[in-house]
Amino acid sequence: MRLARATPATQNSVMAAQTSSFGDFAPPFEIREPRGWQAPVVFNSPHSGAVYPEVFLRASRLDLHTLRKSEDSYVDEFIAGLVEQGFATMQAYFPRSYVDVNREPYELDPRMFSGRLPSFANTRSMRVAGGLGTIPRVVGDGHEIYAAPIAPEEALGRIDYLYKPYHRALRRMLAQVHRRFGAVILVDCHSMPSTGSSRDEPPRPDVVLGDRYGASCTPALTFVIETLLQDLGYRVGRNKPYAGGFITEHYGNPANGYHTIQIELNRAVYLDERRLVRKPRFSQVVDDFAKLAPAIAAVARDLIEPCQAAAE
């Protein structure tokens, strides 16, 4: 399987690489842990992957640039420097148009496939209906990805070799941090198109915080992030139009010390959405994420103090 990679340094240029299987995705994702933890906080970027298998590009009716419009372009760069500050990070290298880890494992659209799906596939979710299941049928602006139906085995292979290992690694890391500290915060980082598909949708804010309407994390976490971002000049909304996807819902369990929040940054803040080129404000956004991390750490320390006191 050949890969085409859209690299930050070359913008839309393509670099070729060789790999023999899904398992050689060189690598499919990366976890970076700090040498010294400042607090039990993990920053995740599941949708910024920009490595495109050539076989996928050949099967697509879309060019690489159009496929890339589904990416959370360069969001991984917002969190890259946080490891040196004492926080863990995780990022996917495969693109969300290839397999989307922010979905249930088997949200699959039967219209996409040349054969029958397994009986356990969820074919009726709202995300499947919109074409944005685990194996997406469309890119974010509604363009059909595939020129012809694909084999169900292809979808199941992507899930087995990319989706499942990603979640096993994320779940293992969160459990380890939770055992060490007594609580853990997962910050799931995304970007959103500046406009929605409906003309009736109001203008989107600069940032949308998704906490599943208070179900996925302590209210203090949402409040602290919202307040700091507003102080930095961002217009901030909560839960509309994004309340948090599968990752936020699945890993957020505040009663047991697992707190998850989704941050959706409006792409118009930092990106030329047509050309997928960084705007001058990009470096400021990187600096603002660096300011955000200590504020989240303070919330985390407040969460773990009762656990440490109980242990003593």
> At residue 14, does pLDDT exceed 90?
no
> At residue 6, does pLDDT exceed 60?
no
pTM of the model: 0.91
Averaged pLDDT for residues 61-65: 96
Structure tokens at 208: 């949308």
Amino acid 200: pLDDT: 76
Q: Is the peptide bond before 280 cis (omega within 30 degrees of 0)?
A: no
Whose CA is closest to 51, among 20, 29, 77, 81?
29
DSSP secondary-structure letter at 251? H
Amino acid 142: pLDDT: 87
Structure tokens at 303: 């969460």
> At residue 182, does pLDDT exceed 50?
yes
Amino acid 20: pLDDT: 33
> At residue 19, does pLDDT exceed 60?
no
Amino acid 193: pLDDT: 95
Amino acid 1: pLDDT: 39
Which residues share a beta bridge with 92?
29
> At residue 24, does pLDDT exceed 70?
no
Amino acid 26: pLDDT: 76
Give every CB contact of residue 259 below 8 A, 6+ residues apart in sequence.
183, 184, 185, 186, 216, 217, 218, 221, 252, 303
Q: What is the pLDDT of residues 216-264, one digit of tens each?
A: 999 999 999 999 999 999 999 999 999 999 999 999 999 999 999 999 9
Q: Are strands 41-45 and 88-92 parallel, antiparallel or unpaired?
A: parallel
> At residue 10, does pLDDT exceed 80?
no
pLDDT band at residue 210, thresholds of 50, 70 and 90?
A: very high
Amino acid 33: pLDDT: 97
Q: What single-letter amino acid sits at 64?
A: L
Amino acid 12: pLDDT: 28
> At residue 309, does pLDDT exceed 80?
no
Which residues share a beta bridge with 191?
265
Averaged pLDDT for residues 276-289: 97
Amino acid 269: pLDDT: 98
pLDDT band at residue 196, thresholds of 50, 70 and 90?
A: confident
Structural domains in the chain plus CATH codes: 2-94+166-311 (3.40.630.40)
Whose CA is closest to 252, among 168, 169, 171, 164?
171
> At residue 30, does pLDDT exceed 50?
yes
pLDDT band at residue 80, thresholds of 50, 70 and 90?
A: very high
Is the separation of the CB atoms in 194 and 273 below 8 Å? yes
The full DSSP string for 69-114 is: GGS-TTHHHHHGGGTTTT-EEEEE-S-TTT--TTS-TTB--GGGBS
Averaged pLDDT for residues 209-217: 98
pLDDT band at residue 306, thresholds of 50, 70 and 90?
A: low
Mean of per-residue pLDDT scores for the chain = 90
For the chain, what percent of residues have pLDDT higher than 70?
A: 90
Amino acid 307: pLDDT: 60
